[in-house]
Amino acid sequence: MVDKQSKKIICIHIDKGKKHDYRLFKESRLPILESTEIQADSGYQGIQKKYSQSRIPHKGKKKCPLTKQQKKENHQLSSTRVVVENVIRTLKIFKIIAEKYRNRRKKFGLRVNLIAAICNFQLC
């Protein structure tokens, strides 16, 4: 989770192995207020059932392409989500997320949180 105004990392949830983004989000059980707006990518299909304030991009189909209004909404959403993607990029610079982790698994969460703290410190 990233704060849109300050661009700081609020929290990181990790798990071992490959796991879908939305499944990891559901298992994290983060306390999210009803008034909080969630902006997610298309990997979070179904989040709108649980959180009415969430926004995900519209998906077009072969026989039913996106309308101009839907394309405009997707463009607005992606222009605000670029902040989150840039924060993820700063984490990938440290190569702990971008490549296979070849160290003790017990310390992976600690190291990811330390790198997130370094990224937050850089923003100050």
pLDDT at residue 119 in the model:
86
Write out pLDDT tens, residues 75-115.
Answer: 999 988 888 888 888 888 887 777 777 777 788 888 888 88
Write out pLDDT tens, residues 29-82.
Answer: 888 888 888 888 888 888 888 888 888 899 888 899 999 999 999 999 998 888
Q: Domain map of the chain by residue range? A: 21-123
d(CA 112, CA 91): 8
d(CA 22, CA 46): 8
The sign of the CA dihedral 111, 117, 119, 122 is: negative
pLDDT at residue 44 in the model:
85
Percent of the chain with pLDDT over 90: 12
Write out pLDDT tens, residues 34-45.
Answer: 888 888 888 888
* Pick from 10, 42, 15, 39: nearest CA to 26: 15
Residue 52 near residue 35 (C-beta atoms within 8 A) = no
